[in-house]
Amino acid sequence: MDKRVTRTLVSLSIITGMLAFTRFLWVYDIFASIVVGLVLDSAYRNRNKDSGEEVKYLLVLTTSSILTLFSYVTPFISLVNIPLATIPFLINMRAPSYVRSPKLATGMMLSSFVSFLALSWSFGYSLGSPPSPAFGIYPIYLFPLDIVSVVAGITGSSSFSVVFGAGLVSLVLLKMRETKKLGNRVRMGLMLLAYFVYSTYIPNYSPIASQVQYIPYMWFNGLGTYAGVETPLLIGILGTFVVTAVISYMFGSRQICSVTCTAPYMLQGNFMDSMKGFNRTSKLGRKTLTSKLSSWYKVAMWATWGSLLVAAVISYLNYLGITNFTILGSDPTMFYAAIYFNFLWYLQFIFMPYLGNYACVNHGICTWGSFNQLFGYLGPFKLKVKDPTTCLTCKTVDCAKACPVGLTDMRSSFIKKGEFKSFKCIGVGECIDECPHDNIFIYDIRKVIREKIVKEARTRE
């Protein structure tokens, strides 16, 4: 998008903050979130140039978003939006390209995230259901805990799903337009649909919203998604684990980590996807490269799974009345889910320039992800090539460069075995899309069945 158009949209969105004098401030919340996404798209399109303009836009949008919160105390505070809207036209700012500056990229991620937080709370409040702190509010000397509680409360709300989703939708759609392979565009379309229908509409706004905890496959974050471990919910909980294990076995963990989880929607828009370059340049990112599972990865994975299983046992004992143990007033499994999915995950999101993209996959602390990765690894899912000699003579190695998880050793496996199978491969498909020789394809249960049918047909002949 042209920078002049972006600048105009930024100013218009800030001016709509004047809706604080009406009952329609939620319109500003949605409009402003969409414009934040368009600013990030502008930064992506100009990623090899100066990022100063986009940084300026994000700062004024964040300021306007925060002012919105105070406008609920007195609408007159929204009058500050009038001079604020002129800043994009009157002040110039220069900054290096964000792809070459992890500090600047982190600042842009943080500014955007703060905007989404403020707009989400405002959106909920204007519709009569403001997000509440996940663990309550504590005395001032425990303010770090209050920050965690407030952030987790907002990010775990339906308001955040709507506002954040609206903010990132342009980035995802524009990334889809850039995608070359039909199969990958279909996957991204399903990912988009899953975010708004499976993770947002059905659990929060649908006629069956109050019953989703009883339905297998609807516990989209695993244990702690909706409630603790209780006997009436076991069909929904265990059914979710069984169904998702079977699907991951057949199609790989891509069914979760690249489609139905909310994470891929948040990570695969064009701006966020460009952060995968930091997988190779950041100190921590480099340590996660290749398909090898490091010792610290295994320790983190077993530690998180161990603690979650202990929490699940305590949760069920609480239900049976044998124990009465909570953490900050929350069920242990719900506390675990809130701390990771609603707080720690977003720290990984903001600090991508230092941790690398898809830190949730690379660091082993997402139990739901590692569960599906395990069954995906046990199944037939893998990447294969049509001709290994093509990989041998390839000079660009675009497949490894494109992988957002940082699986840089896939080429050597293609050359030696004609295939690549990794616990960390989640089937994003960027390698397939970027291969200049159209040499890579996904092998899963569909190929297995097809090969079996062909073999049986030949046998009958």
Residue 262 lies in a domain: no
Find tokens 């708004």 and name the residue. 196
The residue ranking higher by pLDDT, 7 or 266, is: 266
pLDDT surpasses 90 at 254? yes
pLDDT band at 4 (very low <50, low <70, confident <90, very high): low
How far the first Cα of the chain sits from its last, in Å, is 58
pLDDT band at 145 (very low <50, low <70, confident <90, very high): very high
Average pLDDT along the chain? 92
pLDDT of the residue at 71: 87
pLDDT of the residue at 73: 83
Residue 45 lies in a domain: yes
Please give the Cα distance from 223 to 226 (Å, whole number).
8
Residue 304 lies in a domain: no
Residue 226 lies in a domain: no
Please give the Cα distance from 224 to 215 (Å, whole number).
14
Task: Give residue-wise pLDDT tens across range 69-128.
Answer: 888 888 888 888 888 888 877 778 888 899 999 999 999 999 999 999 999 999 999 999
Sheet holding 382-385, edge to edge: 419-420, 382-385, 440-443
Find tokens 């042209």 and name the residue. 2
| Segments forming the whole domain that contains residue 12 | 3-165
Can you tell me the mean pLDDT for 193-220? Answer: 95
pLDDT surpasses 60 at 2? no
pLDDT of the residue at 255: 93
Task: Give residue-wise pLDDT tens across range 263-297.
Answer: 999 999 999 999 999 999 999 889 999 999 989 89
Can you tell me the mean pLDDT for 41-63? Answer: 88
The residue ranking higher by pLDDT, 21 or 126, is: 126
Residue 409 lies in a domain: no
Residue 8 lies in a domain: yes
pLDDT surpasses 90 at 390? yes
Please give the Cα distance from 438 to 386 (Å, whole number).
9
pLDDT surpasses 80 at 14? no
433 - beta bridge partners?
none
pLDDT of the residue at 48: 87
Dump the DSSP string for 130-179.
----TT----GGGHHHHHHHHHHHHHTSHHHHHHHHHHHHHHHHHHHHH-
Least confident of 36-40, 89-93, 215-219, 390-394: 89-93
pLDDT band at 1 (very low <50, low <70, confident <90, very high): low
Residue 138 lies in a domain: yes
| Domains in the chain, number | 1
Task: Give residue-wise pLDDT tens across range 335-356.
Answer: 999 999 999 999 999 999 999 8
Q: What sign for the dihedral angle of Cα 26, 32, 35, 37?
A: negative
pLDDT of the residue at 21: 75
DSSP state of 242: H
Would the pTM of this model clear 0.95, i.e. be above it?
Answer: no
Dump the DSSP string for 349-391.
HHTHHHH-TTHHHHSS--HHHHHHHHHHHHSS-EEEES-HHHH
Can you tell me the mean pLDDT for 249-271? Answer: 95
Residue 9 lies in a domain: yes
